[in-house]
């Protein structure tokens, strides 16, 4: 039972096939409590497809996804209420103000004391001066910041971040990364993080899952990966894997 509780995400033999194209090919991985796991790989490696399967936006062709020890397929609403996500391809409603958009999502995630929660998020993410501005009038970076605040609206135990700092300048990206880590550490949740920013990935990850052509080609801590591949940094590993994917780990 303890083992079940520890595992926040457990993916078993997950396959996603679009006709003859194999987007995700028989992958297995786990994310444990308090763990930050990054999915890393070139474009088309299957990172976003995995995130979207965890969010029930895409149905697996076969395989099994368990979150908090329960089958996602059978407990969709219950499990999604304990998760949240942000991604650059999914913006908040541009015709609502920041505060209104956060209220909509607080309601959709069933938060009864939404006023308090929104107040907390506005303070925590320094959104006071953006609160009454329409989301569509915000810069891309500001929209990402609001998107990250939205991802915390339900105090999630599992956070899926698909390139969360993609449009941010380095200073704001660093500040937001620190904020994300602080909030997640406080709640004892886990994060599944994708990014093309190798420095970011190295900084935040307890473990990195390298993907190539829908398959897991490496799954280890940043330091162990560097040792295993004999490289100084993740970028070199990324490039070598992209050039010639190694055989799958046993």
Q: Greatest CA span in the chain, whole angstroms?
A: 53
Give the C-alpha separation, 240 to 117, whole Å: 45
Contact region with another protein (CB under 8 A), list: 96-104, 170-178, 180-188, 196-204: 96-104
Per-residue mark of binding to another protein, 24-43 (x: CB under 8 A): --------------------
What is the nearest approach in angstroms of another protein to the Cβ of residue 87?
Answer: 7
Among 2, 112, 230, 250, which residue interacts with another protein (rule: CB under 8 A)?
Answer: 112
What is the nearest approach in angstroms of another protein to the Cβ of residue 115?
Answer: 13
Task: Give Cα 104 distance to the centre of its chain.
Answer: 21
Counts for the chain of helices (H) and strands (E), in that order: 10, 10
Determine if 122 is a binding residue for another protein (CB under 8 A): no
Among 90, 126, 132, 139, which residue interacts with another protein (rule: CB under 8 A)?
Answer: 90
Give the C-alpha separation, 169 to 189, whole Å: 26
Among 52, 98, 195, 212, which residue interacts with another protein (rule: CB under 8 A)?
Answer: 52
Determine if 92 is a binding residue for another protein (CB under 8 A): yes
| Residue 183: both structure tokens together | 């909030």
Determine if 18 is a binding residue for another protein (CB under 8 A): yes
Among 33, 100, 175, 236, which residue interacts with another protein (rule: CB under 8 A)?
Answer: 100
199 dihedral zone (left: phi>0; alpha: psi -120 to 50; beta)? alpha
Determine if 76 is a binding residue for another protein (CB under 8 A): yes
Q: Are 157 and 8 contacting, i.e. CB atoms less than 8 angstroms apart? A: yes
Give the β-pairing of 70-71 and 83-86: unpaired
Contact region with another protein (CB under 8 A), list: 7-15, 51-59, 232-240, 241-249: 51-59
Query: Three-state SS for 32?
Result: strand
Determine if 111 is a binding residue for another protein (CB under 8 A): yes
Rg from Cα positions in the chain:
18
Determine if 223 is a binding residue for another protein (CB under 8 A): no
Nearer to another protein, 108 or 178 (CB): 108
Q: What are phi and psi of 199, to 5 degrees?
A: -65, -40
Contact region with another protein (CB under 8 A), list: 108-116, 199-207, 223-231, 238-246: 108-116
**Strand order across the beta sheet in which 62-67 lies:** 21-32, 7-18, 62-67, 70-71
Residues of this chain that bind another protein (CB under 8 A): 18, 48-49, 52, 55-59, 76-78, 80-81, 85, 87, 89-96, 100, 103-112, 136, 150
């Amino acid at each position: 039972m303890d083992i079940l509780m520890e595992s926040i995400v457990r993916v078993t033999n997950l396959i996603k096939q679009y006709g003859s194209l194999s987007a995700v090919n028989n992958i297995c991985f786990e994310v444990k409590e308090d763990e930050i796991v990054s999915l890393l790989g070139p474009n088309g490696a299957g990172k976003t497809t995995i995130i979207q399967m965890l969010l029930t936006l895409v149905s697996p062709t076969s395989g099994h996804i368990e979150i908090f020890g329960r089958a996602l397929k059978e407990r969709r609403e219950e499990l999604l209420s304990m998760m949240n996500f942000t991604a650059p391809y999914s913006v908040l409603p541009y015709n609502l103000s920041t505060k209104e958009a956060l209220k909509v999502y607080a309601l959709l995630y069933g938060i009864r004391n939404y006023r308090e929660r929104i107040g907390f998020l506005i303070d925590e993410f320094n959104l006071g001066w953006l609160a009454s501005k329409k989301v569509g009038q915000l810069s891309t970076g500001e929209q990402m910041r609001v998107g990250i605040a939205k991802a915390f609206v339900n105090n999630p135990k599992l956070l899926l971040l698909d390139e969360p700092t993609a449009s941010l300048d380095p200073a704001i990206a660093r500040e937001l990364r620190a904020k994300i880590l602080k909030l997640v550490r406080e709640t004892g949740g886990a994060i599944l993080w994708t990014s093309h920013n190798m420095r970011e990935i190295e900084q935040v990850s307890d473990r990195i899952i390298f993907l190539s052509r829908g398959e897991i080609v490496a799954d280890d801590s940043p330091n162990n990966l560097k040792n295993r591949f004999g490289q100084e940094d993740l970028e070199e590993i990324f490039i070598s894997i992209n050039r010639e994917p190694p055989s799958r780990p046993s």
